[in-house]
Structure 1
């Protein structure tokens, strides 16, 4: 048994649960929406591709 990351209800971790680790499609879509809205993120180095000084024109 694990907790659903969205609603915290207990969920059986098995192949029978097609939405694992979520309890249902609704909770799965809520989580996906949070990632899409950038409410969730994996920490890491900032993306430098949009910073000043970046140029895709390499002058070749």
Structure 2
């Protein structure tokens, strides 16, 4: 390989902008996007599986339709 080939590879722009990890705030890594590590990814998954994250719903759908 020539040094010219290595130069062009280092100038490749990342596909995504680095964003902070939603769990700890550190910069995200490509392998675990949008998280920074496998640990943070697993913490988030655990919260989904245990029901810590929930989408609020109305008890009575007819009341929800009237409010709109």
Q: TM-score, normalised by structure 2?
A: 0.52
- Which structure is richer in relative contact order (CA contacts within 8 A, separation 6 or more)? 1
Q: TM-score, normalised by structure 1?
A: 0.58
Aligned match for 1:35, one of 42, 48, 67? 48
After TM superposition, give the deviation of residue 45 of structure 1 in Å. 4.8
Structural RMSD (CA): 1.7
Give 1 or 2: higher strand fraction: 1
**What stretches of structure 1 of length at least 5 have no aligned partner?**
47-60
**What stretches of structure 2 of length at least 5 have no aligned partner?**
1-17, 60-68
After superposition, the C-alpha distances for 1:1-44 in whole angstroms (9 at most, x for unaligned) are: 201011111225xxxx1210000100000000001110012334
